[in-house]
Structures are given as C-alpha cells and as structure tokens.
Structure 1
C-alpha cells in the first residue's frame, strides 16, 4: 500500500537540455498531478497524442481504474494502451505484461501482484516495484513501448504477456470491457506476434482488434503459451502458439529467464496488422535501443512540441508545475492514428480518442488552435473525414467507434470556432458544412440501443431532433431534455456562424432563429433563492415543476450532471437577451454572485458553482457582459487558486482529457474564449511576463506590472494596452492578438477600478 502523499513526480533520470533555449521544461511536470480518483490523470509514459500510453494497471475489487492507475491496489499488469483523465467507464488496458517470480502454475488466473514502496515518474518515464521485489521501468514512443525489468538475483524470473487483459468496470452499468478472442505466436528467434479482440467500455464499442509484436533483448530460457477456457482452465500449448475461440476466455504466453537480473522488452502495436506492429517497433525502438534513450527522446519531443509553447518569468515552483503539467495533460489525447485507421482508406489525418467534445469544446479546442495550429487543423480535417465514412462527426470516439453523445453534436461548435477564426488550410469547408447540416437535420437511428438512455441514440448526432425541429423545444419523452436543448441551441448558433461566413443565405436566418430556441425552455415563473426565470423541462401541455438546485442528474434526468441554476447560463451567444429575461443588469449581477456564496443553496459551506464539471466553465467570466470585469477577475481567480493545487489530488474533478487543465491555462493567460465566436473575455494574467508561441514566427506577449507576479494578490486590472494602444473594452477578438500575434500590457493593482468604457461583449443572437 502506498501513501497518498508519497506519489509524486520524481525525475529519476538526468534532465535533458533541449532546444535553443537549453531549458528542460519537463522538470516542472508532475506526472502524478490529478492522478487520484478525483482527476483520473494518466501518470505513465507517452508521447504527445501517442497511440502508446505505457503505464500500470492497478486492481482494487469494486473500484474502476479509468486510466489504469489507482493510489492503492495490486498490479494486474503494465499495458500499452490507456485513456487520459476520463470517467464513465475504463477503456483499454490492453497489450499487457506482468513480471512474476518463482513457480507460476496458473498464469492466466487473474493474477495480481502487490506494490512495494512508492511509484515514481517523470515525463516519458515510469518506475514501480512489485511486492516480489521486481523493479519495472517504462517508456514509450508513439506506437511502441519499452519495459526494463530488474529481478532479484538468483531468482526464476518470468514475464507474462497477457493478450486477454483489459481494464474492467465495476460500476454496474454494463459498460465493462470484454476480451472476445485472440492469439499469440512465439517464433524460433524468440520474438512474438499476435492480436486481441475486445469490445464495450464507456462508448459501448463493438469488437475492435489490436495487433502486437514484441521482442526481449535477452533470450528466454523457456516459453509456454497458454489458453484458458471456462471448462478446462489453463492449458499449456507446447508448440508456442495459442489462440482462443468463442469458448476461450484467456490467452497469453509466459517467458522464463534464468541467471539474469535485467531484461528489456520492446513491443510495437498497430490497429492494422502484426506486420505493421513490427514495423512500428523497428522504426521507433529498434534493436539495441536502451530505455534511457527512449526516455531522453520522449523528453526532447515534449519540450519541443508542447512545453516550450508558453514561457513565463516566474520562479514559483507551484505555478511552474501547474502551468507545464497542464500543457502536458492536455496533450495526451486525442490519439494521432494517421496511417492506423482500420475503418477506411484515406489521405486525410486520422485522430480518435475524443473523450469527449462535450468536455473539450468549451476551453480545450480553442487552446489547441492557439498553441497547436497544425494539430488543430488536422483534427478538424479528421472530424470531417469521419463524417464522410461513418455518417456523423463524433461527439466522442474511442476504439474507432463513435459514442457516447452526452448532449448535443458539439463537433459543430468546434468547426464553427475554427471557421470564424480563419482556419482554412487543407480543410474542405464545403464538406465541413455538409457534416454540420447532417447533425442539424437528420435524426440518427437508435441503434444500438443504449440501455441507460433507450429513448434515443447516444451513438452520434442529435437524437432529439424530432422535437427540436417541430416544436422548437425538447419534451421529456427524450432523456436529458433540458441540457440537450441548451446544447442544441449552441450547436445551431455554430451553423449560423458558418452559414453567415459562407454566404449560405437560405440557412442564416433559419439557424439564427433555432439558436434562440433555448428561450422556449425558459419559465419566467420558476423561482429559486429569490430569483425568477430558469430553463426547465417542458411538454406540450406546458412547463413542468422541478427543483432548480438538483445537480446530480444522469442519463435519464432532464439535466445532465448539472442543475437548472447552472444550465441557465449556457447560451452566451444570446447573453443580452438572457440578462433581460433574468430581470436586468443588477439582478443578474446578484444572481451570478449567488453562484459563489458559500451556503447560498442552504447547504453548509458549499457553493452552487461547480468547479468539478464543464457546464459551468464560463460562469465566473460572465460578469464581463454586465460591465463588472472586476468580479470576473475576483471569482475566476478564487476558483483557480482554491480548487487547483499541485498534488496528486490537485484537480477539482476528472481531468476529462485535459479539459480541467485548459480551463486553468486560460485563467493563467488572462483571457476566456467564447467558442463559436471570435470573442475573448479579458480578466487578468497571473505572471509578470508570458510569451505564447503561436506558430509561423508569431507570438503573443503578455506583461503585467503592479501585481504580485504569481496571481495571488493585486490582480485587479487598472489599465490595459493592446498592441501598444490604450484599450477600454473588457473583451477582444481573435484578429486583435492571435491571427498576427500581438501584445497585452496590463497594469494591475490591489483594488478594483472602472477602466472600461462600457462597451459590452457582443451577443450575436440577441
């Protein structure tokens, strides 16, 4: 058992000097940040957007291990495939190895091995010791992984390659993954090849197959392959080949090593074939490559591609850790599988492991555009290509399968955001527009039926369109009716924006009007805590009663994972009208502030605002629409500094593929994006100096004077210059500082002052 506080990122290998600046930013990354069951961050070894995420799989009966890692528990394996920071149900945990000692009579009997001491890690490196005294070290290339095992002297050492290993789920929602069959063959030179077929997981995926190809640098003195069936148990296969049929439940191979203390294992994976898996291995980790070399290359890649994109002048190690750890964790998924698409042949990029856009569209995708414009464009192209061959763009996608859609078709928001900010390049926007129209007009078939929400499809698209198109609202015959309605309105606003830009005159007014349909869920007579007007469930007979503070809804509830108090702020493209409906400026200010008052909802000390979940990401910044930019600064900074800390439990909620990290990064930058618009709300930067590399030789330079240099105090804006000129608005646009680069010069102070001229951020739908 390991102490909760003992699991810290400890760089065990010497830091690598990289790039012209000779700075190793990886030294500031805590790979265990948010790795508790609060955040589910993946602490193992990976490359940016790599297929391989090499890390431990911990087992505790009854506890879901979403990224493979748990603070406590026994090792069930060390596998090459994981998701990052997700919830719902575990995914992957495939292509697994487990080191063992002594006599192993039943290697496929769900063996687990205890943990000894403290796990350690740094960027590109993971280290753990089993209760049997075996040290396990891991690293990763993009499509291959490397293991180094150090065994106790004079021991009979084994490595079990378990084809049938997956991460299970215990939540009782029929979302656990299953092994369906596979094979492993050991060749005369000692290397092995095989495949495994698996299904289910959070997105309820049908069968998917992964191929693998592995080598040990030290020849095994013995190898026995096994298949286990429900009737016969584990059976040794002396010919070095084992496969499982529909009767078999496990398959694997046990490699035995005598008179050696250290063994290195290299494994490549592929979605296409064992031949491709071998090629990936030989290309990325060829024979003779040491684990130290792979770690060094991983650090260099992270420094060059990701971490060097933002530089600051701070020496505060907590802030440095939060900044660079956030950049790291936002860049683990989606997965770049270009050239590894088993579904169709295409010259377009292919990305998957979108988990999910419901989480990512608010903050993450706009930050991808700023920091990684090439990657961002490739993701846009991939989404459109998925529509070409699957029929719909995904809201979530994993193991090459769309699903599940929690709310609207949020790829529409992402395409709209890219379009209005000028992304063109190799994007086929005619096809992009058709993909968006498909989401907006064609109800997806309800197959396969999601047993948690059997009323309509969660596979892709917008399955409540029958109500939305004919009634202008969503009745409770559809699950998540209110939260889907506010999402659909935002989706339609995205179509309006693209139609306007592409001069699709027949569609402009149509989708603008549909983007206002969230108003049809607005009951002006619904009251809570002295305020009137909320989005509520509705049927043809009228509004339905509901507790405005109930926030624990799930798939069948009218509100998904948030309350009416929270979802009533969603459609900021219509913010001016929303303020009128809430009773005007002063009432709306009081209502927003009530979100942050401890105990305002009648509970002891809690606040209505939920920092653990995405629906309220925008709420602390909405004071800008009310000409109270100082309150946006005050409340957003309080959330950032209170709920984000540097430890293993340092995230307020699940990372959700880096969504939490990108919210924090925008807070550090001092801007907040309004997805689908060119507008950024201005609040206040943390640091005296920050430089953001925008690509193409452009940069955004953000400076501040008068603050404390760490964002803890004296953070109110006194004045601002944009590109050297005095600025009086509490918002700016993409073209102001991002499209060509620019400068932001803040003067900060201890007290709020009125530095703006009252010109409010735009509300295009109002």
Structure 2
C-alpha cells in the first residue's frame, strides 16, 4: 500500500466520524474509501502470477491485487535521476494521478499551478500544494502546451479563490490515488473523490457537516470554468442549465504545439437540485448539502455535441452508485494489468512494473461516442464502423518504438482500432498523421512516425484493420515530395522530402533538425517495406527496403559517426544537439538504425569496435541531449542498450538494461527519467522488466535481455493461451543469462520470433550475478535487414526508372521515377536505342541482359548492396551499365570485389549525370556512352526533348582469383545517386 493511501486511511475514518455518512448505501464516501484501502493492503502479498482467474472476478481482495501495485503519482515530480541536459519539458514525467479507465476519453485529474507555464508539462506537479481545478481531460507526459486539461471543476466555499487566484489548499498526506480513483481532502475540509467510465466522470464532493458550514456562514459551491484549460489562459466557453439538476455546455480546447482548436462538449447531472450563477462561460453552482453532504455529480463528454455527451452519460452511467463505478474502474484496470502477471522480485520492483504497465494504457484515447459519432480531421461528423472505436492522441514519434508493439501484442483488438483510426484520419486529411492530438495532425517531431506506428502495430498482432489501404497511404507519403494532413507536411516539408528522394538524405541546407530526418524517414521506409512484404507487394518491399538504407548516406567514415550533410555532399562535422539533430546529438543518433545493426557495426569497425564504443556510451544512463551518452529519458536512445546482442556480447545488454531499471526508474513521484510521452518511457520499462524488447521496428520478433522476476505469465488475447517465463536465480543484481530454453529446447541466440511465443509457450532462463558467455557466437545469426542477401542483380533491383510515353506512372508519384524527382527514361526511346526489356545489349564486346521490368523495378540505386554470386567466377573485367541522377558532377563511390580467398579489391565506381546536366556537360574519361535515349518522360507520361544516356564503366580484375561477391558503394562523395541497370563479369 503506497504512502498516500496508508496515511489517508486514518484521516478518512476521522472525517467519516466527524461528518457522518450522509445516508444511503452509496453515501459511505470516506469510510468506503478507507475500507477499500484496507482491503487493498491485505491483498498486497498476493502473488499476481498465481491469481485464480475465477477468484479475480468475484473476490475483492484478489480483484484489486494488481492495482494495489500501481502508484499513479510516479512521474509527477522531477526525476530522481535527472538528465544533465533534459529535452524541453523533460525534467518531469508529466503524468497525472487522476481517475480514468484504460484508453479512456475522460481523464479527470487535479491541476496545479505551473509558474506561468514555465514548469512543463503543465498539469499536476507534485511539488505544488495548490489545486486550481479538476479538469476532465489530460495528456500523460506530453511535452507541449495545449495538453488538454479542459473544463476544470472546483469544489470551494470561496469562488474568488478558484483558478489563478487559488492559494495553497491541500497537503499530499490528505491525498490518495489508485487506478480509476482519486481522492483529496482540501484544507477547507471538502473531500473530493473522482472516478470514471470511458466517456464519463463521476465526482463525490463531501462538504463538512451543515453545523460547521452554518457557524462560519459558508456556502458550498462547485465552480465550472469553460474559459480556461491547462495552458490556455482564456478561451471560449458556454454553460447553460438543463432543468433543475443539470448543466450542459462546451469549451474550446486544443492548440497542442500550435495545432488548431476543437470543441469539447459536456452534460453534467447532479443528485439534487442546483442553483447556477452563470456568467461568460463560468458557472458557480450551489445546492443544499445540509442533509446529504456528499454531493454527487456525474458528467459525460463528447467532441461532437452536448446531446451526445448526454447520451454517453445515460448509457455508461445511468445510476448514482459511486462505489460501484469506482469498483468497476478498478476491475477494468485489474483485468488489463492481469495480462502480465509477475511473481518474485521485491515489492518496489512490482510497483515500478505495474505502474509502468498502467501508464502504458493511458493513451491513445477513445474519441467516438456511444452511438459511433466522432469528429473527423475534416471537421465533419463521422460514424465509426460497428464494433469499432475511434481513437485520438498519438504521440507517434514517441510511441512507435515500444508502446505500440506492446499494446499490439497484449491488446490486438483495441490497437487494431487505433490503427484503423489512423487510416480513417488519412481518409479525411490525405495521409496518416504523424503526431495527433484531438482530430488534427500537430505536425511536430521529425520524420513520418505515423507510418512506423502502423507498421509496428501490424507486426506485433494488431492486424484487424484496412492494412492494404494503410500501405497505400504509406507508399504515397514515401514517394511524393509533398503530402499534407490538415495543412501540415507529413514529412516535414517539400524541400526536405525532395532532398531525401533525390539525394537519399535530407540535407542540412534545410536548417533546424534536418540532420536527424534521414534516420526517421529511413525507419518509416523500413516499416513500409515490412508491411508491403507481409501483404505480398514485392515491388514496394524491395523499393522501400532499399530506401531504408539511406541512413548510410550520412555515415562519415572519418569520424565514424552519423552526421548531417549538405546537398553538395559536404559534411557538418560538429552538429549542435537539439538544433541540427532533434533532441539529441550525433553519437546518440549513430546507434538509431537498429534494423540494420550488422551493417552499422561493419561501418564502425565490426563487433569489437562497436563494443568499445557502446561501453563508453553507457557510462551515463540518462545523459540528456548534449553529452555523447545514453539518454533513457528520450526516445531515440531506446533501442541502443539491446544492440550488444548483435555484437557477440549479449551479457552487456543484460547488465546495462538491468542497471537502467535499477537506477534510473523508481516507485516514487520522481520515478521516471523524463517526460513519459503518453506512455512511451513506461512501456520501455515493461519490456525491460520481462526481458524482451521489440528492437527491430515492424518486424515481429523480440531480442532478449533478462527478466527481473522469478516468473512472468503473459496472457494472450484469445484468453486461453499464454507465455510463461521462468527465471531461476532472478534477482535485482542477477541479470546474466547462463542458459535459456524455449519449450524445453536450448537457445543460444538472443532473439525470438513472436510466432513461436503466441501459442502456449515456455521460456526458461537460468540467471546469475556473474556474466557468462551465453549467446557469444550468435552475432552473425541475429536478424539484420541490410542490403546484403542478394545472389544476382535482378534480386537487388529497387527503382522504377523506365516510363512509357503517354502513360502515368504509379499514382503519378515522384518516388516511382528514375531521378525520384519526376523524370524517367522513355521505354520507347530506349528501344529505339537498342535496349528492350529482357533482351541483350552489347557494348565494348560485352553482352548485358537488360532488365525486363516485370517486377515493376528496372534498375538499382547503389546503396551498399552486396551481391554474392550463386557460383564463384574468375574474370578479368567487371563491366556495369548505369548513370547518376541530380549530379552537378560525376559522383564517385567505393565498389569492392571480394574473392573466394577473402582478399578484396576496391575501385572508384563513377557515372556521369544521366542527362549530362541537361546537355551542358561532357562525358568523363571514366565512362563511355552505351545508349542514347532521344527524350525523357515524366511521371504523368509527358515527354520532353532532353537526351538521356546510359554509360559503360569497367574495372580490371585479377583473373587468377574467383569473384565471390560484389559490394556496391553505400554513398557517393557529392551526394548524388548512382544507378545500375546491368552488370557483367567477363
């Protein structure tokens, strides 16, 4: 039992005896709270992993066993392990202790002052001792202004002391919170209790006995204020009375990070007649509390209308039994928390775990009403499909890495609805949004994170949505220079996305944050490739997989770091943290492309060099933005501790992850290392504690750490199957895996495919305090999604570069053209020059096979592909047909030949621009013109008179050796792209 409940028990009993119960079974307000707290304390020592399912639904003690481990105050204070230089709004978790249900629309919580908005996120700040209202909505841990906090309601005897005029009015010793319930006794003796259903709030406000009120001539009030929110000092609000016992109205909220506003509607009903003095969006409500001092008020919300708010209230909360609603909310939370049941470990570790799991289920939030209505991105009322729920509040840049995979795995039905909601949003605004508060894309944070959310959700089990339509939107935004949703560029701006397409990286010429865009765009492209593969779309799988390798274009081989580049190919060698690279620095971003860990390690100097570098990186576990170290409090570093698993030193992952959970997280108000970002940080903790992590975005597998608990039982959504994880020897400082078995079969690799766990499965760990060499020989077997698995050039094709005169290319998108800016070779003009699909083209005495284009792809953008020959071949010449695009001068890149004896030879592959700069340049000595196309064709089928060329390049090889593989350049010296049509050894 947490400190707040323990202290409040005695206070509650004392208040009950002083003021009385107020009549009726539901009026046992304070004594009821104390009794429940006592029952919860009795349940503390129950073993969550062994709770009997039938008991859990019928017995109060076992039903509340897991909620008893949740401390909603975690994250409400500045971190107890603060970052040296936290991101803006990143010093505090930004969570709230108020009443809500899993993924609920209503999140009814106290609001404290924020020093004029200086203490971010705004909401509930533990160091304060003043409550300025209880708003009905709140984003958990979001770092921007406009994080909801609409319609604050305040019980008081003095209406002039409400809001900005409030003085210190409560003490934490008189405050308690549990999942679905919040309670505080204010200094004036008013006891406030809050609980909730999905779309409604239920308040019980117990005023002192009538004799105490009369002796001081006090009048009890509830003040409704529709003219302010957490961060909007003045907004438009309307309140009116509805009969003798109800209010309805609306308030204008929103402006999250500068996004547009929306209207929140409400309908509130009291358990007695009221008198309301209403003026300019504020209502001072009075009532007779002499006989029943516990005033009950229930309120429904809607983003569509007050009538819908009333319908929500009538359907979800038709009665006046506060305790029943509180118990139902607790049961709803317990049911969700039971999805993962742990045993062993300390009580502190259980509190940290279940609080993190709780925080992982606060968002996204229900937005549709009980009748299916919701307000869409087009500002029109829509109706969600029967059986579905529309959701809002996706901090996609934060949640795609850990939270969406977690919730997709545990709650595939709800998460499928969340993904369908994003598709619905796209239908209304033109693209999958990247950061969505209520019914708008806020257009914040770099990249295209909505795409990564959809891809990751599908991979981890949330598949019941229109994935084909989602893929259409994903390929749209990944192949067009400018796609917008509600007026915001989904991939930042036309210039940034145009750079990414035509250069393979977003150039620093675009200014602020541009240096980190490529890594985010590449992640989105990788997610697109994986969904395309899952849906059988091989063309887009190959095309977007190749684009996901664009991160290599920003790898600086001299500094061995991922650094920003300009359009001319030059480097920014000393980028400024949180200016050139968003909320981080070059060293932190260097480790971000975890989907190609093997490719990254090869560039930094292979496993030994990577281990040395990572060891230095983890000398600080919550560094902040400036220091070149791990930063647990922000998302770009989330995947890095697990990278040791690809290095042959998995014990280092086990140690680092355990050090993080032991030292950076705690079970008190300062228990989060940074702002929670709608559950992102908390979800990372959940994964870490169970010893698994979704390292590779949009790939349905998990890399392995070590469980904190003796036993973890994960119940799958079908209700009958489960994964049982046992960890013999588990302990706080016992992280090292000695042995591991899946269903009795020994494993020696820190990777598991989700499909092997989604039945009745058993994972058996043996752990110890001393490291072992378990998994040391597995690095080469770990899944890594680079461009190194090809046996022929045909396998590696990744670009659609030959158009047809008069025919529009795929949806007329730039990304399906040769230069990825809208122009391609003409198939008719190439045929006239001697190149037809699938036929031979001879030049310089060498016969090449021209691509047939049947797959929709007809050339390869050079991005470091390794083509390992099906049969080694001795040759004296390597000959290639190709050209470059968007090249002011011929780019050069290193091509490597690997012989069967593992010796290598490197060459400067170089191709002139395909149009010779529109005809203004001449062919260099390194090339010969093999084909001349008389004209080009654009994405819409229109032709021009610009000549386009295909060049011949060759290199002399050692005839005495056999060629095993050919590795193409992964970047060029001037930032232009090189393309290959055909390749031949002779």
Same fold (TM over 0.5): yes
1:646 deviates by: 0.7
**Alignment correspondent of 1:621:** 642
How far does the alpha carbon of each residue in 1:576-626 deviate from its partner, in whole angstroms, 9 at most, with x for none? 22111101211111001110125999999x871111111111111101111
User: Is this contact kept in 1: 2:433–2:485, CA < 8 A?
Assistant: no
Q: Does 1:644 align with 2:671?
A: no
**Alignment correspondent of 2:544:** 511
Once residues 603 and 188 of structure 1 are traced to their aligned partners in structure 2, the CA distance between those partners, rounded to angstroms, is 56
SS of 1:341's equivalent in the other structure is strand
1:432 to 451, 470, 474: 470
SS of 1:386's equivalent in the other structure is helix
1:467 deviates by: 0.6
Once residues 73 and 625 of structure 2 are traced to their aligned partners in structure 1, the CA distance between those partners, rounded to angstroms, is 32
2:722 to 691, 694, 699: 699
2:252 to 188, 197, 200: 197
Once residues 746 and 458 of structure 2 are traced to their aligned partners in structure 1, the CA distance between those partners, rounded to angstroms, is 29
Query: Per the alignment, do residues 100 and 65 of structure 1 end up closer, same or farther by CA in structure 2, a change over 3 Å counting?
Result: farther
User: Is this contact kept in 2: 1:181–1:197, CA < 8 A?
Assistant: yes
1:337 deviates by: 2.0
Once residues 614 and 65 of structure 1 are traced to their aligned partners in structure 2, the CA distance between those partners, rounded to angstroms, is 18
**Alignment correspondent of 2:908:** none
1:541 deviates by: 2.9
User: Is this contact kept in 2: 1:28–1:321, CA < 8 A?
Assistant: yes
TM-score by length of 1: 0.86
How far does the alpha carbon of each residue in 1:148-179 deviate from its partner, in whole angstroms, 9 at most, with x for none? 222233231111111112112xxxxxxxx365
Once residues 546 and 488 of structure 1 are traced to their aligned partners in structure 2, the CA distance between those partners, rounded to angstroms, is 21
SS of 1:717's equivalent in the other structure is strand
Once residues 108 and 749 of structure 1 are traced to their aligned partners in structure 2, the CA distance between those partners, rounded to angstroms, is 56
1:428 deviates by: 1.9
Q: Does 1:749 align with 2:762?
A: no
**Alignment correspondent of 2:411:** 372
Q: Does 1:578 align with 2:634?
A: no
**Alignment correspondent of 1:89:** 145
SS of 2:786's equivalent in the other structure is coil
In the TM superposition, what are the counterparts of 1:556-571 in structure 2 within 5 Å? 557-571=579-593
How far does the alpha carbon of each residue in 1:2-49 deviate from its partner, in whole angstroms, 9 at most, with x for none? xx9979996745147995243221111111111124111111000111
**Alignment correspondent of 1:252:** 283
2:327 to 273, 284, 296: 296
Once residues 162 and 418 of structure 1 are traced to their aligned partners in structure 2, the CA distance between those partners, rounded to angstroms, is 39
1:501 deviates by: 3.0
User: Which 10-residue stretch deviates more, 654-663 or 307-316?
Assistant: 307-316
1:190 deviates by: 2.7
Unaligned runs of 5+ in 1: 169-176, 228-249, 450-455, 527-532
| Larger-gyration structure (1/2) | 2
Once residues 9 and 394 of structure 1 are traced to their aligned partners in structure 2, the CA distance between those partners, rounded to angstroms, is 45
Higher relative contact order (CA 8 A, sep 6+): 1
Q: Does 1:187 align with 2:206?
A: no
SS of 1:483's equivalent in the other structure is helix
1:490 deviates by: 1.1
**Alignment correspondent of 1:232:** none
In the TM superposition, what are the counterparts of 1:257-406 in structure 2 within 5 Å? 257=288, 259=290, 261-287=293-319, 289-304=320-335, 306-314=336-344, 316-338=346-368, 339-343=372-376, 344-348=381-385, 349-406=388-445
TM-score by length of 2: 0.68
Q: Does 1:226 align with 2:258?
A: no
Once residues 769 and 181 of structure 2 are traced to their aligned partners in structure 1, the CA distance between those partners, rounded to angstroms, is 43
User: Is this contact kept in 1: 2:122–2:145, CA < 8 A?
Assistant: no
**Alignment correspondent of 1:130:** 186
> How many pairs are equivalent?
704
1:143 deviates by: 0.9
**Alignment correspondent of 2:964:** none
**Alignment correspondent of 1:142:** 198
How far does the alpha carbon of each residue in 1:518-546 deviate from its partner, in whole angstroms, 9 at most, with x for none? 111111122xxxxxx11111112333334
How far does the alpha carbon of each residue in 1:502-561 deviate from its partner, in whole angstroms, 9 at most, with x for none? 3323323321221111111111122xxxxxx1111111233333436x54x1xxx22000
User: Is this contact kept in 1: 2:393–2:438, CA < 8 A?
Assistant: no
User: Is this contact kept in 2: 1:65–1:90, CA < 8 A?
Assistant: no
SS of 1:542's equivalent in the other structure is coil
2:54 to 13, 17, 20: 20
**Alignment correspondent of 1:32:** 73
1:634 deviates by: 0.8
The root-mean-square deviation of aligned C-alpha atoms, in Å, is 2.8
Query: Per the alignment, do residues 498 and 616 of structure 1 end up closer, same or farther by CA in structure 2, a change over 3 Å counting?
Result: same
Once residues 255 and 161 of structure 2 are traced to their aligned partners in structure 1, the CA distance between those partners, rounded to angstroms, is 25
2:689 to 655, 668, 682: 668
**Alignment correspondent of 1:719:** 739
User: Which 10-residue stretch deviates more, 496-505 or 508-517?
Assistant: 496-505
**Alignment correspondent of 1:611:** 632
SS of 1:721's equivalent in the other structure is strand
Once residues 347 and 561 of structure 2 are traced to their aligned partners in structure 1, the CA distance between those partners, rounded to angstroms, is 43
2:219 to 148, 151, 156: 156
